[in-house]
Structure formats: structure tokens, C-alpha cells
Chains A and B, each alone.
Chain A
Amino acid sequence: MKKHWSLLIMVSVVFLAGCMADKSVEENAIVQIVGYDVGEEERIRGTVSIPQYGKSEDKQAASELYLTVDADSTKDVEVEIQKQSSKPISIGKLAVTLYSKELAEKGLDDNVDVLSRDPRLSRNMFLGVVDGSAKDLIESGYTQDETTSKHLQGLIENNTLHNFPSTSLHDFLYAYYAQGMDPFLPLLKKRESFVELSGLAFFKKGLLVAEVPDSKIFTFKMLKENFIKGMQDLPFEGGTLMLENIGSNVDYSLTGPLDDPKFTIKVKLKAEVNEMAGVDRKATPKLAKEMEEKFVEYFNKEADELISLFKEKKVDPLGLGNFTKTRKGNFDLTQWQDNYSELDVDVQFDVKIIEYGIFS
């Protein structure tokens, strides 16, 4: 009998002491998007949007609460926002983090440290650079039935399936910490009533150093990774061709010694032409051949431009240094960086047009 009593006491102690004071989902302010701008007096201005879910009849209407604070550091933004919120702030579901271009040009190193340190953050989060003010971008609701964060998340995610290369937090951190590799982020721009991805921003460590407009991104993505969807247009004989990628494959190879490496990047592209506006010829193998040559010429030019831009800005988003490091034993980072601008990179394109749509 005594044993039973002591067991009872133990169990009740466990229950009373074990329960942690934690709030259930709906009692948290779940931050899903945060934007950072340069604030006054060297401070950071953080803007968050907190979706307000209600048990209203029309669940469609997504209402959001926007909070903006000035803080000393990234983590301090959370502290400051907490002061304005009736519910505890939860950043576990953060899906999009935006930086204004102004802030990125000053460097994002402090912020990257927080992003890689906090266990609650998702690695599939998207980062982006805003051409303009991140606050304005967050605070102008775009659609009726979606929250801003969901809209922006969808925007970036959808585009990474097409012309844009993949840019999640993990990809950013991978490149950020790697030797001989530099990160890049999508560039967002707010137009009158909508927001669009306007290009890519290239970083040297945490510092924004170069930008590329969206017209060149197809070429960049081909150089960077294998992909199967995407479109690129090209003027051809007074008309326009629209090329749809149905499978591109990139292969790097490295020859020569470490102090004088020679890179060959081979890109094989299988494509379909689905617009031939203004081209007044029948689709024949001969025409295909001509188009292929034209595309190769175009891509070569674009790729050379990109690589010379990278060399000039001393950024390496393609990870050529990282590639060298895995292939050659005694890789020296400083030597590599010194030689980077004179690096010999040869890009070879092989375009095969295999379909012309269902109408000839």
C-alpha cells in the first residue's frame, strides 16, 4: 500500500512539474515573412507580417498584421516586435526573408550568422533582395486570397522551377561558407500593382557586388545546374524564336595544373521551338540547323559576358573554386582568388532542337 502511495506522488509530481508552459498554435503570432531595411542612425528596420486567421465565414480573405520596428541587430528585431505583439512571436514557420538592396550592399554577414544558428528556422526558407524598400513590398497586399508570404514564396518557388536557379536558405549558406564559391539571391522589384523577379544579385561573402537582369538568367541557370523547364527568346531573321528547354545538362571538367587551370563547361541542351513569329519559313531540318547555330552563338556570347562579369567582380557563383578544391589535392584559396580574374574558362554549347510544336 505504501508503494502505491509513493508511486501516486511521483506521478503527480511528474505531471505538475513536467508540463511546460507553451502556447498552442493559434495563440502564437506566426511570422511568415520578414523584411530588413536600413533604418535611421545605422539601425536596422525590420518589417514582419503576421497572418490573422479567424473563424470567419469567408476564410478566403486573408488579413494580415504588419509591424515595423527599428532595432540594433537582427535578433533585436524579434525583441522589438515582441513589444508590439499581444501573442508570443514564433519564427519557426518563417518562409521568406527579404533584404533591401541598400542593406545588402552594406553586407549581410550579421544576418547570415543568425540564420545559420537558430534551430527553429527552416532550411527551405527563401531569401531575396528587394530593389527598393522591403517594407513597402511586404505591406502592399497583392492578392485577395493569399497572404503576402504565401504569394512571395509561391513566386520564388514557381520561378525556380523555370528560369531561376534554386535559391533556398540552404543553398545560400552552402555557397556562403564554401571556399571558392559565392552565393546569389533573386532580385525582387515592386511594380505598381504587382511584384516581379527582376534578376539575380551576386554576393561576395555577405556583400552584394553584382546584378544580372532576368534576360540573362536562362544562360546562367544552364551553366549552374541541370534543368528541364525554362524559356528563352531570340530574334531571328526579323522574327522571334521562343525556345523551350526540355532538358539541359551541364558538365564541368578541369585540365591543367593548379596554378594554371583550364575549365571546360559543356552544356547540352535539348529544346523545342514553340514560337516562330515573323519567321516566314517552313520548319525543316535545315532551318533547325540554322536555328541551333544561332542559339549556340547567342548562348556563347551571353555566357562569355557573364563569366567576364564574374571575373571583373571577383565573384564565383558557379563554384569553380569549390570544384577545383574537390578535384585537386592542395588547393590554396588565396592563390586561387589572385588568379581568378585570369582564369581560362571555355564554355561549349550544344543545342539540339527536336520539336517544333504540333503545327508546321
Chain B
Amino acid sequence: MWKWKRKEKQQPEKQQQTKKQNGSLSEFIQAMQQSEDFVHYKLSGSTRCTISYLKTMSDSKILNRSVLSILNSESLHTLHDMRERIPVENIRVTSKLELIEEKVMFGYIMVQIHEKDEEVLLVPAVSLESRDVGIPEVEFSVVGPKEAFVETLNTNINLIRKRLPLPQLTVKETNIGKVTKTRVAVVYIDGVANKDNVETVEQRLKGIEIDQLTDSSFVTQVIADNSNSPFPQLLDTERPDRVVSNLVEGKVAILVEGSPHALTCPTTVVEFFGASDDYFLPWHLATAFRLIRLFAVIFSVLSTPLYVAVLTYHHEMIPGALMATIVSSRSDIPFPPILEVIVLELTIELLREAGARLPTKIGQTIGIVGGIVIGTAAVDAGLTSNVLLIIVALSALASFTTPVYQIGNTIRLIRFPFIIGAQLWGLIGVSMCMVFFIGHLIKLQSIGRPFFEPLYPLRIKDLKDSFIRLPFNKQTERPVLTRSEDTQRMNPSRVNAKRDIDE
């Protein structure tokens, strides 16, 4: 049933033909009447006509105040007269069955003069239930704007547009999903964003074959350059300000109806470790925090593998002063380090997963119970060493410092191959795992742009806003990554004009 509709969209020249083959408006009405919430009745006031709408989707205020009052008080005989008189914007008269179906499903009121007419009047009376714009919860920041995207596309675009009052800000919409027909918007600044990037995104979106699209993360997975990679190749964010700054850099944003997250691309792995806080703080502080975050990520991935490697194979590396501490903490443990580490890492993952599934308040309790009770009990029972408990807890903590939730998941999981590598060949195994991931990152692309940039390809200009963040007057150009059509952000000579003392 749905399949032909897609085809029809792709081949508009065949539209007439297919329409004849596949039923008429009355068949559509018949099909709809099987649902209880479809209202279809004849109006017999001053104007004689047939009104049909979905009562669950349409706003009864518009129907009563604007449509019925006019139709009952005035005598109107053509659809065009009605269009003139009814005080609702954007009313259409059409006979395209496809359009009618789509609009009625979204809550438009359909008015026919006669029941058999193919031509109808469509009055927009959409009533959408949506959440108010709230504060960002995943990417919270102490300073800076506190608005986050919601599930309505229009609100989300509104949040972007009010920050970017530019005629060049272009929004292109398509519907994706055989069943869900979700509205997907591609947003970019014309003249700043690279045409190729926009085209690639649009093409990829067009090529999506999927029945349902209930969240933006579906898009991330489907249009990713390498869908087998654990790394997300599009940056998702719930902060409009972050999207806006990305748009200004020349990136392309994708918004999906029903998803409170926007996607921006092309992105790099480094970008996942930058928070919007970094731009609200003085540059040295922001740089320091970024470096701390980077260190936290490295620590999180490597600490337990190094523990396994050193304790199993290279105990010569432990300094004499630490030797006593480590050996005595491990002296009664019945398991080899690898087993000890895997059990403890899995425990932490369990706690996290349980905490994430439960309501906030119970989640906290679980965290405390798990963390303190299980931890101390395991050490007291002699099942794990307290040194490892500290390391595992710290590395779990460190993995939560990443500002983007998606990459945090990746980091927690890529630790396991490293642990296995460490068990196989000690430090050399860890090193091999690292090479594998570096090679993988070098191979990865985000909509055709290198994902491991600015490290490889090495772009010194883009390094100014990656691991470190230089002051704004040092960043007078847009990132090379986006291949922006207008590379200058501002006039560098005016920004960096030198003034003498006392001038």
C-alpha cells in the first residue's frame, strides 16, 4: 500500500497514471472512516458542504471559531469563496489526492461542496502537542544560554533562526521514512557552507531507505560513512547555540521532527571533546579544561589496560615505593588481574546501565548502593584489590567528562579491546590496539571529510580550536575542514590592530 507512494514521489511524471489506478478521494474517506476519530459530516446551514477531519489532530478552536462560524453565517457556494472568507492563513484548494491525504493526516480540515467532488478546501487547523523549551540536560553548562531543542521541528528552527537573523540561512525540508514520513530539515548558511557538503548531505538523506525515523540518531547511523564504526560520525547536540556556531563555521545541520537533537557535519573526533562552556570561559582556562578532558579520556581508555599489562607482564616497571602497596593489596586476590579488571569494569557498566534505566531518584540510590556497598564489600571479601577499585572508579568518572554523550559510550566500550590486548602481549598489545584505532580514525570520514582532522591531515590552522582554544582574535578564519566558501570570519587587520601605550 505504502510502497507505491514512494515511487510516485520519485517519478512525478507518472503521477496521473498511478492516481487513476489507485483509488479516489471517496475511497480514502471510506478507509478513514474505519477510525473512530475521523469526523465526516454534511453541514446544512447557510453553506452546504461536507466537512471531514481527524478530531484528534485538529484544533477544535479553529474549527469552531473560524470555519464553522463563517460557513454558518454566510452563504458560500464555491471553494474559492470560502478561501477568501475563512480567516485562517494558508488555506488551499486542491484536487491532488496525495496532498489531501497527507494534510488530513496532519490535522487539516477538509471541506467539500459535494461529497463526490475531487476538489477540496484544506484549512490548516493542526494542533500539535509539544513540550516547552527547557534547559539542556545532557549538555548542561553553568554559564551560557539555557535553551535546549524540543521535539517540534518548527520550534527548533525558530530557536536557530532567532540567533541567526540572516536571509542566507537556508532550510530545506524532505520527508523520510516509508511509514513515518518524518520531516527532516537541512539547515545551512548559503554562501558560507560548502556546496559539496550540502549536496552530499542532501543526497545521503534522499538515499535513505527506512520505514521509521523516530529520532535523529537514526539519521546518524544510516548516513554515516562507515556504519560499522563505534565512533559517531555526526555530532549531535541539544544546544541551539552550538548548532548556530557550527553553522557559522560553515557546517551543515540536520534537524528531525520529533527529535530534540540536531546533527551537525562534517565533524571531527576532536570536536566531540569540546564543550560549549569552552567558548564562555577565558581562552586559557578553556584550554586547560580541554586538556584536562583529553587527559581524562586517555586515562579512561588506558588505565585499566595498563594495570593488566604491568601487573601481568612488566612488574619491573613498578617503582620500588609502589611495589609494597600494589603487591600487598593484591596478595590475597584469587583471580589474575585480567579477570579482576573485567569483572570490575562490567560491574561499573551494570551500575551505569541500571542507573540510566531507572528514574532519577532511584538511580541515585542505586549508584550509592552499588558504588559504596559493592565496592567495599568486594575489597573486604578479597575479590578485588583496592588499588584497582580506585583506578576503575576514576576511569569511569573520567569517561563521563566528555561533553557529548555519544562519544562517552564509545570510550567506555573501546576500553575492552585494549584490556584484551594487554592480556595478550602486555604493553605491546596495548600499543597494537592503539595503532588499530588510530588507523581506523584515519580511515574514517564524516560526509566525505577526514574525521581525524586536524591531526591528519595535519592542519595547523584548525589546531587553534581543537585541543587548545586560542582567543577569538586569533581565530579570524573558518576551519579548513568545512572548506567554507567564505573563509574569513572577520577582518583580521581590524581585529589585531595594534595600539600603542596610552592611546
Contacts and interface: CB of A to CB of B under 8 A. Distances in A.
Interface of A: 14-15, 18-20, 22, 24-26, 28, 30, 32, 51, 53-55, 59, 62, 90, 92-93, 95, 120, 122, 150, 153
B327 A59 contact: no
B273 to A, nearest CB: 31
Contact of A59 (B313, B328, B336): B328
A122 B326 CA distance: 20
Contacts of A92: 315-316
Contacts of A32: 320
A95 B424 contact: no
Nearest to B308: A24
Nearest to A91: B316
Contacts of A54: 328, 331
B331 A55 contact: yes
B316 A55 contact: no
B55 to A, nearest CB: 51
Contacts of A153: 320
Contacts of B336: 24
Given A14-B424, A53-B331, A55-B331, A22 B312 contact: yes
A92 B316 CA distance: 5
Given A25-B327, A59-B324, A92-B316, 10 more contacts: A15-B420, A15-B424, A24-B311, A24-B337, A25-B311, A28-B315, A53-B327, A54-B328, A55-B382, A150-B320
Interface in B221-242: none
B323 interface: yes
Given A15-B420, A30-B323, A150-B320, A55 B425 contact: no
B324 A24 contact: no
Category for how many chain B residues contact A? 20 to 34
B445 interface: no
Contacts of A19: 423-424
Q: Which secondary structure dominates where chain A touches chain B?
A: loop
Contacts of A51: 324
A122 to B, nearest CB: 7
Contacts of A90: 315
A22 B424 contact: no
B329 interface: yes
B461 to A, nearest CB: 41
Interface string B54-94: 00000000000000000000000000000000000000000
Given A22-B312, A24-B312, A30-B315, A55 B328 contact: yes
Contacts, number: 60
B430 to A, nearest CB: 14
Interface in B317-333: 318, 320, 323-324, 326-333
A19, A24, A28, A62: which has the most chain B beta carbons within 10 Å? A24
A262 B316 CA distance: 46
A154 to B, nearest CB: 10
B318 A25 contact: yes
A217 to B, nearest CB: 26
Nearest to A51: B324
Contact of B330 (A18, A26, A122): A26
Interface string B109-127: 0000000000000000000
Nearest to B332: A55
A351 to B, nearest CB: 38
A51 B321 CA distance: 13
A32 B318 CA distance: 13
A54 B331 CA distance: 6
A19 B429 CA distance: 11
Specify which of B327, B333, B423 lies most central, judged by the most chain A CB atoms within 10 Å of its CB. Answer: B327
Contacts of A93: 315-316, 318, 320, 323
Contacts of A62: 324
B326 A25 contact: yes
Interface in B356-407: 382
Nearest to B340: A24
Contact of B425 (A18, A25, A30, A120): A18
Contacts of A53: 324, 327-328, 331
A29 to B, nearest CB: 11
A110 to B, nearest CB: 24
Nearest to B317: A92
Contacts of A28: 315
19 contacts: A15-B424, A24-B311, A24-B315, A25-B318, A26-B331, A30-B323, A32-B320, A53-B327, A54-B331, A55-B329, A59-B328, A62-B324, A93-B315, A93-B316, A93-B318, A93-B320, A95-B320, A122-B316, A153-B320
A20 B308 CA distance: 13
Nearest to A95: B320
A55 B380 CA distance: 11
Nearest to B423: A19
Contacts of B332: 55
A92 B323 CA distance: 12
* Smallest CB-CB A-B distances: 7 pairs: A92-B316, A53-B328, A25-B315, A53-B327, A18-B424, A26-B330, A55-B332
B327 A26 contact: yes
Nearest to B329: A55
Nearest to B425: A18
A62 B311 CA distance: 21
A90 B317 CA distance: 13
Contacts of B424: 14-15, 18-19
B423 to A, nearest CB: 6
Contacts of B313: 20, 22
Nearest to A122: B316
